[in-house]
Amino acid sequence: MNIYEAIKKDHDIQRDLCDKISKTSGNSSERKELWTKLRKELEVHEVAEERYFYSPLIETDSMQEDARHGMAEHHEIDELIQELEATDMVSPHWLATMKKLNDKVHHHLKDEENEFFGKAKKVYSQNKSKELMEGYEKTKRDYKKDWPNSIPGSDLES
């Protein structure tokens, strides 16, 4: 497995969870459970991806702008997560915000898979992309274990 395959695998999990949440209602236990899973997936993925996909790209002229763009979108995703955490699940605002998150996540994953991966393949050698995958997977494992305390800001709301 290389870094692209590892990321794509997690994107598929995120897309699936987004899809499932949009079919839940109110403050059902199913919605709560799926939301916690999605939040964890998104937050842990962002940390590992920034470290093992974006950070090394920021150093390159060909991808500096894309890397900044991608990480700015992570920030927008974080803001929507915080907004959802601060909103009552039964309110229409929760669902409307979830819809925004869903659209944002889909858009972001498409940018990464359809644009950034192709460009990054010109920067990272095959060996490097395998090495990055190992760092990515290890970081994810470590953060998942300690989540939510490992992610700054993720323990702000009850």
Where does this chain bind Fe ion (CB under 5 A)? 49, 112
Closest CA to 73 of 61, 81, 84: 81
CA distances from 2 to 54, 77, 106 (A): 15, 25, 22
76 versus 131: smaller Cβ distance to Fe ion: 76
Nearest distance in Å: CB 72, Fe ion: 10
Residue 47, SS3?
helix
Please count the helices (runs of H) and the strands (runs of E) in the chain.
7, 0
The token pair that represents 115 in the structure block: 């644009």
Closest CA to 56 of 102, 1, 123: 123
Quickly tell me which residue has 């915000």 as its tokens.
97
Nearest distance in Å: CB 89, Fe ion: 25
95 versus 105: smaller Cβ distance to Fe ion: 105
95 versus 133: smaller Cβ distance to Fe ion: 133
Nearest distance in Å: CB 127, Fe ion: 22
21 versus 66: smaller Cβ distance to Fe ion: 66
Backbone phi and psi for residue 88, each to the nearest 5 degrees, phi listed first: -65, 130
Nearest distance in Å: CB 73, Fe ion: 7
Nearest distance in Å: CB 143, Fe ion: 14
The answer to whether residues 52 and 67 touch, using CB atoms and an 8 Å cutoff, is no
Quickly tell me which residue has 């993720």 as its tokens.
154
